[in-house]
Structure formats: structure tokens, C-alpha cells
């Protein structure tokens, strides 16, 4: 796979479903929150469809409820997640090695729908914060697919959109990059299917993180 990444100096990752294998936990917590809120329990596919959106708007979309009811569901979800998060989710295979290699050649960032508290906990549990120069969370920006998260990162770095590249597993990651004409790579192992991702014209769709080394021509480099 030959892709021109010569102008890219910064790489932005989504977190859940791209770096961390957390979809099953998110689904379980959302289903528990629904039951606690006396709402119909959503299917796995229904929850996976809204993963990537910030929590409150994701709940409003998933359950078609007003903001007050969504806040109640949000509280139950956070309570469930805190209980289940005593055991950290694993990173996807190759994540540590890829982040270690890429961070030596590019400036890395995170754009995630997770709240800051959740990302801080994930960083601490996985010892990965040191790989990333900047991060923007769901409670610090407009929700994906708004490009606000990416715009904030571009402003912090004082770079143009073509100098950064977004990597994510959802159509929301692709859409927010697409709006800025930012190059993007989709991953096929997350929560949204390949056909939906391809519709947003990523440079590539990869099946595992280690494929990034070849795309960025870093195979064999320390």
C-alpha cells in the first residue's frame, strides 16, 4: 500500500475502538443504564452505532429522549462504567509497539468522545499518556462528527489540516476529518463496518494497527 504521507507531521487517534478494545464494556454499561432507567434495553448493534459520539448526545440519539432523561441515563452509565472499569480494557494488538514507533517520528494526539476523567483513567491504566502531545475529550468540545475537536488540536499545534491525519473506527471520525479536508485512515476492527467507513473516502482501511508502520514507511525503524 503506497500512500503519500510526506506532508503529515501530526497523527490524531480516536481512542475507544481504535486504540483500546472497549466496545463490549461500553455496550454492557449502556444496556445496564437503560434497564436502570426503565428504558428499552438496546441491542449491541444499536449501542455500537453511537459509540464515538460524546456521551450525552449519544444517549439522546440512542434512546430518543429529552436532555433531562438523558442526564439520568448518563449518571447510571457512568456508575456502571466506574464499577466495570476496575479491570482495564486491553489495547488492541500492536498498539504499544505502533505508538512507540510513531511517536519517535510524528507528534501524536487523541480526539475522543470519552470524558477527560475517563481518558485520564485509561492513560493511567495503560501507561500510554507519554506517547501523546495533546488530547481533546468529549466534555471539552462539540461532539463528533463536528470537527471542533480537530480544530482545537490544529490550533494548539498551529498547523493546517493537511499536516495532520486522523485515524478512527467510526463514521464520526471520518466525517469530522472529511469536513476539514484532513487525510484520514479508518480501522476495520472497531464498531462500524468497512462499507460505511469507505463511503467517507479514507486513504486506507486497515485491519490491524501494525499496518500503520508500512503506511508511514517505518517498518524496521526504531
For the record, the C-alpha cell of 205 comes out as: 482501511
In CATH, what number is assigned to the domain containing residue 112? 3.40.50.1000
Q: Which residues lie closer than 8 Å to 79 by C-beta, 6 or more apart?
A: none
| 151, containing H or E segment | helix 148-157
**Domain contains 5:** no
Q: Same domain for 99 and 65? A: no
First to last CA, the chain: 21
**Domain assignment present for 3:** no
Residue 82 has a pLDDT of 86
In a domain, 222, yes or no: no
Q: Please tell me whether residues 60 and 94 are part of one structural domain.
A: no
Q: What is the pLDDT of residues 83-132, one digit of tens each?
A: 887 778 999 999 999 999 999 999 999 999 999 999 999 999 999 999 99
Q: Report how far residue 43's alpha carbon sits from residue 193's, in angstroms, rounded to the nearest whole number.
A: 16
**144-179 residue pLDDT tens:** 999 999 999 999 999 999 999 999 999 999 999 999
Q: What is the pTM of this model?
A: 0.92
User: What's the domain count of the chain?
Assistant: 2
- Backbone CA torsion sign across 194, 176, 4, 6: negative
- The rounded distance, in Å, linking the Cα atoms of 159 and 49 is 31
CA distance 57 to 102: 33
Question: DSSP letter string over 20-55?
Answer: B--HHHHHHHHHHHHHHTT-PPPPHHHHHHHBTB-H
pLDDT tens figures, 11-69: 999 999 999 999 999 999 999 999 999 999 999 999 999 999 999 999 999 999 999 99
Are 66 and 94 in the same domain? no
Both 118 and 43 in a single domain? no
Amino acid at each position: 500500500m503506497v500512500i503519500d504521507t510526506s506532508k503529515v507531521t501530526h497523527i490524531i487517534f480516536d481512542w475507544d475502538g481504535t486504540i483500546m478494545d472497549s466496545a463490549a464494556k461500553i455496550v454492557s454499561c449502556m444496556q445496564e443504564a437503560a434497564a436502570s432507567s426503565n428504558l428499552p434495553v438496546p441491542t449491541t448493534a444499536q449501542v455500537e452505532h453511537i459509540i464515538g459520539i460524546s456521551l450525552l448526545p449519544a444517549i439522546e440519539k440512542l434512546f430518543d429522549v429529552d436532555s433531562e432523561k438523558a442526564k439520568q441515563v448518563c449518571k447510571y452509565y457512568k456508575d456502571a462504567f466506574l464499577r466495570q472499569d476496575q479491570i482495564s480494557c486491553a489495547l488492541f494488538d500492536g498498539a504499544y509497539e505502533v505508538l512507540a514507533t510513531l511517536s519517535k517520528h510524528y507528534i501524536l494526539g487523541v480526539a475522543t468522545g470519552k470524558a477527560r476523567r475517563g481518558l485520564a483513567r485509561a492513560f493511567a491504566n495503560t501507561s500510554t499518556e507519554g506517547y501523546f502531545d495533546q488530547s481533546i475529550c468529549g466534555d471539552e468540545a462539540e461532539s463528533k462528527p463536528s470537527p471542533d475537536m480537530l480544530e482545537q488540536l490544529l490550533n494548539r499545534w498551529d498547523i493546517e489540516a493537511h499536516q495532520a491525519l486522523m485515524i478512527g473506527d467510526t463514521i464520526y471520525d471520518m466525517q469530522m476529518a472529511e469536513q476539514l479536508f484532513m487525510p484520514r485512515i479508518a480501522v476495520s476492527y472497531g464498531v462500524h463496518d468497512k462499507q460505511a467507513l469507505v463511503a467517507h473516502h479514507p486513504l486506507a482501511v486497515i485491519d490491524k494497527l501494525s499496518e500503520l508502520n508500512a503506511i508511514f514507511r517505518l517498518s524496521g525503524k526504531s
